[in-house]
Amino acid sequence: MNYPEQLNPIVWPLVVYCLAVLALIVLMLSLSYFLGQKRRDPATDEPFESGIISQGSARLRISVAYYLVAILFIVFDLEAVYLFSWSIAFFETGLLGFIEASVFIIILLVGLIYLWRLGALEWGGKQKSLINRKNHQ
């Protein structure tokens, strides 16, 4: 069917949903504005966390191991997303798709072995590359 004058029947539920979400947002913001507390104290704009006034600087040194684990998590999380989408289309991709997925997994395994040998997965000690750099100086 052709709907020249009105919305496509597939699009109108999306439009209704978006309008409902916008109406809910406006309702929540206006209720909090009208029913919320209006008092302003000198301490209102002071930063605090969990009711405790903060002390010192918020700039902390975080270990590089944290960032390495975060990056490794993202890499292997993306690997899982790609492999999940490949597994859905397993029969459609055929042997060529299987070979491409295998090459993808092998490349990631080589990267994991490289990081493992480099010491990037070690929590306790320093990375071998950093130790070697200090020894060569």
- For residue 39, give Cα distances in angstroms to 2, 10, 51: 58, 48, 18
Task: Look up the pTM and report it.
Answer: 0.43
The answer for residues whose C-beta is within 8 angstroms of residue 97's C-beta and 6 or more apart is: 86, 89, 90
The structure tokens listed for 57 are 């600087």
Residues in the chain: 137
Beta bridge partners of 53: 48
Is the pLDDT higher at 20 or at 59? 20
100-133 pLDDT, tens digit per residue, is 999 998 998 898 888 788 877 776 655 555 556 5
28-57 pLDDT, tens digit per residue, is 999 999 998 777 777 777 766 666 766 777
Average model confidence (pLDDT) across the chain: 79
